[in-house]
Amino acid sequence: MNYRINAPKLAEEGKRKIYWAQVHMPVLLNLKEKLLSESPLKGVKFAGCLHVTKETGVLIRTLRDLGADLTWCGCNPLSTQDDVAAALVDEGVSIYASRGVSNEQYYDDIHSAMGIKPNVTIDDGADLTVEMHNSGNLSEVYGGTEETTTGVVRLRAMEKNGKLKYPIMAVNDAETKHDFDNVYGTGQSALDGIIRATNILISGKIVVVSGYGHVGKGIARRAAGHGANVIITEIDPIAALKAKLDGYTVLPMASAAMTGDLFITTTGCKDVIREEHFLKMKNGTILANAGHFNVEISIDTLKSSSVKVKQINQNTTEYELKKGNKLYLIGEGRLVNLVAAEGHPSEVMDMSFANQLLSAIKLIQVKGSLSPAVYNIEKTQDQQIAKAKLESMDINIDTLTEEQHTYLTGFSEGT
Ligand code: ADE
């Protein structure tokens, strides 16, 4: 069998979900329509390791329809939408992804997807790319793409250490990706996950957001929009200053820990909230993570500081500390927007995945000529995607007059 999924019988439900996403992803679909006659991916083998959601379903169908031979696995043990996985398997796609897999099965799924001996890898978090390197079996690879900040950071570290063996397109670093997906996508979907898991009123709460990068900024803005008082914790002085001037309170975690009602980590770093902080927290504090890996909230020390653990619902766990205070962890500290909600809305994934498609085509076009490094996305690709998105929204913008163009490209006109 060329798949491993949880619930094949959910295929029809999954197809209805993918249909709904597709209706909201016009940029990717228009690109596909334009490219169909050329079959630019014909005969190219793809292995994808990216959350199996309805939006990814649209990407997978697009790659397949453009000629790709593909196989896919999840990039997080708790993010797979089992009905979507079933729908894709029903359509003949080779999927290795299930919600709730153990760590061992998670890596088995990655290795199964690698079995295709890919020419192109599509990754989210770099687990597939790292496993490809560990396998040493890179003879057929032209290159890969990376969807997320954490993955790009990891791959740049590999490059710096001379360990990266094939070129990577940093899809995350496209403006039409991180300025939209990370900001508006996570901003909305992280709160969506917390609300679905707890149904708490955000208004009036003290919400502590760790990290004021694109994701932190998006979440802070949405939480403030709900009527929360937002505190930012940071380690970077520039980001901290931006947060302060955007109107938020900036505090070290040691102080924020004592006042926050809801904590959301977005840093990409480990142990951001740890035992010394749990011990200071108020009774009833809620903890969630919106960063790629489940390392930001130190779960091991949360467990070891607790005398009792109780499951409140599928995505909320109560930890009773020795002094009696109860803390609530959402989604086992994994990506809250994908574990407790459906991930980013289709409208932003439209641009992220248009970037994935164009980057993959680029890798195929230049195959063999790029040295192993992490590459930024060209400005022309960003502009093409932004233009297509605006068109799909029926939005017109101005163009420079000839005089304005001359002014902007010249230097002689001053005061
Ligand atoms: N990452 C965040 N949201 C996502 C989604 N809806 N689909 C795939 N990857 C995602």
3-class DSSP state of 300? helix
Count CB-CB contacts under 10 A for residue 366. Answer: 13
- To test the pocket of ligand 1, the residue of 84, 182, 191, 338 to mutate (highest count of ligand atoms within 8 Å of its CB) is 338
218 lines ligand 1 (CB under 6 A): no
236 Cα–ligand 1 center, Å: 27
What single string gives the DSSP state of each residue in 114-143?
HTT--SEEEESSSHHHHHHHHHT--TT--E
For the Cβ of 349 lying below 6 angstroms from any atom of ligand 1, the answer is yes
Q: Which atom of ligand 1 is nearest to the CA of 21?
A: 6
Instruction: Judge whether 3 lies within some domain.
Output: no
Our answer on whether the CB atom of 56 is closer than 6 Å to any ligand 1 atom is yes
Q: Do 113 and 189 belong to one domain?
A: no
Which amino acid type is present at position 37?
S
Q: Are 209 and 223 in contact (CB under 8 A)?
A: yes
Q: How many Å lie between the centroid of ligand 1 and the Cα of residue 38?
A: 28
Average pLDDT, the chain: 97
Statement: residue 285 has pLDDT above 80:
yes
Which letter does DSSP use for residue 234 in this model? -
Report the alpha-carbon distance of residue 244 to residue 362 in Å, rounded: 41
Tell whether 371 and 327 lie within a shared domain: no
Token digits of residue 118: 């890919």
DSSP, res 183? I
First to last CA, the chain: 73
Asked whether 80 and 339 are in contact (CB, 8 A), the reply is no
- CATH code for the domain of 29: 3.40.50.1480
Confidence of residue 274 (pLDDT cuts 50, 70, 90): very high
- Number of structural domains, the chain? 2
Residue 183 pLDDT grade (very low, low, confident, very high; cuts 50, 70, 90): very high
Structure tokens at 137: 């079996």
Angle between helices 214-225 and 237-245 (to 10 degrees): 20
pLDDT tens digits, 350-371 = 999 999 999 999 999 999 899 9
Residue 322 CA, ligand 1 centroid: distance in Å: 37
Q: Return the closest-CA partner of residue 48 out of 63, 32, 26, 35.
A: 63
Q: Which of 24, 56, 73, 188 to mutate to test the pocket of ligand 1 (most atoms within 8 A of CB)?
A: 56
Pocket lining: 343 vs ligand 1, CB cutoff 6 Å: yes
- pLDDT tens, position by position, 94-119: 999 999 999 999 999 999 999 999 99
Write down the pTM of the prediction.
Answer: 0.97
Residue 299 has pLDDT above 80, yes or no: yes
Domain that holds residue 16: 8-177+344-392
Residue 252 is part of a domain; what is its CATH number? 3.40.50.720
243 and 214 in a common domain: yes
Percent of the chain surpassing pLDDT 70:
100
Q: Is 344 in the pocket of ligand 1 (CB under 6 A)?
A: yes
54 lines ligand 1 (CB under 6 A): no
Q: Nearest to residue 140, comparing CAs of 107, 176, 111, 114?
A: 114
Strand partners, 71: 47, 94
Q: Which residues of 37-73 are buried (b: 16+ CB within 10 A; e: fewer)?
A: eeebbeebbbbbbbbbbbbbbbbbbbbbebbbbbbbb
Q: Are residues 103 and 121 in the same domain?
A: yes
Please check whether residue 408 lies inside any domain of the structure: no
Distance 215 CA to ligand 1 centre (A): 13
Do 358 and 325 share a structural domain? no
- pLDDT (mean) for 219-248: 98
Do 29 and 159 reside in the same domain of the chain? Answer: yes
Whole-number Å distance between alpha carbons of 415 and 413: 7
56 and 173 belong to one structural domain: yes
pLDDT tens digits for 372-407? 999 999 999 999 999 999 999 999 999 999 999 999
Q: In whole angstroms, what is the distance from residue 340 CA to residue 334 CA?
A: 9
Cα distance between residue 197 and residue 175, in whole Å: 31
Are 173 and 315 within one domain? no
- Ligand 1 centroid to Cα of residue 345, in Å, is 8
Q: Has residue 383 been placed in a domain? A: yes
Same domain, 203 and 127: no
Confidence of residue 1 (pLDDT cuts 50, 70, 90): confident
Res 70 pLDDT > 90: yes
Structure tokens at 154: 């990891």
Ligand 1 atom 10 nearest Cα = 343
